[in-house]
Structure 1
Amino acid sequence: SRSKNSNKERNLIRAFTVLDAYASKLSMPENAKEHAAYIYRKAVSKDIIRGSSIPSMMAASVFAACKQLGIPRSMNDTAKVANMSKKKLSRTYKRLVKNLELNVSSFEADYVSKISNSLSVSEKTARLAGKIIHDLKKEHLHVGKNPIGITAASLYLSAINYDEHVSIEKISKKTNISTVTIRKMIKLLRPFASKYLKSIDLSV
């Protein structure tokens, strides 16, 4: 019906105003913002929005979009920006993922293949990066760390090992992670990487 359609349109106009605010507070890149809008539109068309407020469903869409694109934005930060509890965001997000069947796996394996492709490094470099991350995870040292930063640093170390020169600056550009964070992660990973690496100068 016409009134139902105009309701939907009003909802979307309001939702995108909310999205603008979240995106600017979270410094989201344009592609993530567009992806969040796409997820939200799908939620509206499938009527998943029913029973949720616009801000909470948009916050869930934003969090899902960032996760799918490998952009590090925590649930805490997203909840804070949306002025809602982490528990409420988590509930809305789970509902969104389940009903839209979103693939939001945030495992490093996904990141390794995504980032190694964007850096055009070899398969063996990507495999070695995976091994280094695996060892780090065994010690639970990845907890609370940015998985993209860890992946970026492990790929940097692996690339050096196989004489594939990839600069920290290039990795930073491709991953949206600061060079400072990548250097920190390299320091963290170095002990785990050393047993795999030939003796190379890693002064970073």
Structure 2
Amino acid sequence: MVMQINTERRCKRCKGLMVTDSATGERFCTTCGFVISEQVEDSGPERHFSKDERDDKSRSGIPTSLAIHDMGLATVIGTVNKDATGKPLSAHMKHDMTRLRTWDSRSQMHEQTDRNLRQAFTHLDKLKDKLALSDAVVEKAAYIYRKALSKSLVRGRSIEGVLAAAVYAACRDAETPRTLSDVSDAINVKRKDLTKNYRLLVIELDLRMPVVNSISCMSKIASKVGLSEKVKRGALAILKEANDMRITAGKDPMGMAATALYISCMKYNEDVSQREIAHAAGVTEVTIRNRYKDLKKSLNL
């Protein structure tokens, strides 16, 4: 710690010598310790920041997010009972700070909407890990749920059911291959309730959902079964040809992707059964056999 002697002024109490702490900016008496100024203007040279230091946002806090009940804008009172200089607080001040923390926590959960959002986004954070969702999908799901809450669509329905419908809608919008069974099993909601809530959100919020592409579903099934890259490329060629001939219109994309993979496995002599592919795709073996007949007839396989 560097001390600078201030010869211009003396202490008003004891006429002692005044010094300036260059680290904290305090000016105090060396004899009695009387502080006359807690902050002084830095008289040193200006610091020149590099481009990396100017672009560094590490001290700006967490970014705002729709997936946080208060969007990350609420104030937080720290739990460390020390002041700005690092000195411990007195017993009376510790008691006051504890009361302030309690009321700060209660004020954030005062409204019913805040409690609803906090519970919903806690489940959403778990779904993000279980379904391996991207941040864009999570933000979209939180946006859809907030719109549903603002229109009182959650009233009379379970929070988990409406949240599951919002997550499925966000996956459809971002073309992320997640089925109804995947979402319902991850959040422990009946598939019937999930489909009912999903239809409600689409109608009431006027959502425009894109058609699921069977090509995007293929990689998910192939990774679950553990198929080779050669089989994937063969199935991709079959699906592209089927899409060009509009054979996939009105068909389950998971069923079409599973059938294309099964045909490719037969072509390249991969020892994979219909049951394994059907289980990975979440469809029945009958669906694969029916789609196989359609593709074989239309594509002359």
Task: Please report the TM-score for the alignment, with normalisation by the length of structure 2.
Answer: 0.43
Identify which of 58, 71, 76 aligns with 2:179.
71
CA deviation profile, 1:13-61 (whole Å, cap 9, x unmatched)? 6x79xxxxxxxxxxxxxx67x98xx9599617x9555533226954641
Partners of 1:177 and 1:89 lie apart in 2 by 30
Identify which of 196, 201, 216 aligns with 1:110.
216
Query: Partner letter of residue 179 of structure 2?
Result: I
Structure 1: 5+ residue stretches without partners: 17-30, 98-103, 196-204
Q: Quickly say closer, same or farther: Cα 1:168–1:85, change in 2 above 3 A.
A: same
Partners of 1:147 and 1:83 lie apart in 2 by 18
Aligned residues of 2:235 and 2:260 also touching (Cα < 8 A): yes
Aligned length: 165
SS of aligned partner of 2:251? coil
Q: Are 1:82 and 2:197 counterparts? A: yes
Structure number, greater radius of gyration: 2
Aligned residues of 1:59 and 1:78 also touching (Cα < 8 A): no
Q: Quickly say closer, same or farther: Cα 1:80–1:155, change in 2 above 3 A.
A: closer
Partners of 1:84 and 1:173 lie apart in 2 by 26
Q: Which residue of 2 aligns with 1:2?
A: 108
SS of aligned partner of 1:177? coil
Partners of 1:165 and 1:11 lie apart in 2 by 48
Aligned residues of 2:165 and 2:198 also touching (Cα < 8 A): no
Q: Quickly say closer, same or farther: Cα 1:2–1:107, change in 2 above 3 A.
A: same
Partners of 1:134 and 1:183 lie apart in 2 by 20
Structure 2: 5+ residue stretches without partners: 1-106, 122-129, 182-191
Structure-to-structure mapping, 1:27-42, within 5 angstroms? 39=138
Displacement of 1:65 in angstroms is 6.4
Displacement of 1:136 in angstroms is 1.2
Task: Please report the TM-score for the alignment, with normalisation by the length of structure 1.
Answer: 0.61
Partners of 1:142 and 1:42 lie apart in 2 by 28
Q: Are 1:120 and 2:120 counterparts? A: no
Structure with greater proportional helix content:
1
Displacement of 1:165 in angstroms is 1.4
Q: Which residue of 1 aligns with 2:263?
A: 157
Q: Quickly say closer, same or farther: Cα 1:42–1:138, change in 2 above 3 A.
A: closer
Partners of 1:41 and 1:4 lie apart in 2 by 26
SS of aligned partner of 1:82? helix
Partners of 2:201 and 2:194 lie apart in 1 by 5
Query: Partner letter of residue 168 of structure 2?
Result: F
Displacement of 1:109 in angstroms is 2.7
Q: Quickly say closer, same or farther: Cα 1:47–1:71, change in 2 above 3 A.
A: closer
Query: Partner letter of residue 64 of structure 1?
Result: A
Q: Quickly say closer, same or farther: Cα 1:89–1:147, change in 2 above 3 A.
A: farther
Identity %: 23
Q: Are 1:141 and 2:141 counterparts? A: no
Aligned residues of 2:221 and 2:280 also touching (Cα < 8 A): yes
Aligned residues of 1:125 and 1:162 also touching (Cα < 8 A): yes
Q: Quickly say closer, same or farther: Cα 1:43–1:70, change in 2 above 3 A.
A: closer
Q: Which has the higher contact order (CA 8 A, sep 6+)?
A: 1
Q: Which residue of 2 aligns with 1:51?
A: 150
RMSD over aligned CA atoms reads 4.0
Identify which of 222, 238, 241 aligns with 1:132.
238
Q: Which residue of 2 aligns with 1:179?
A: 285
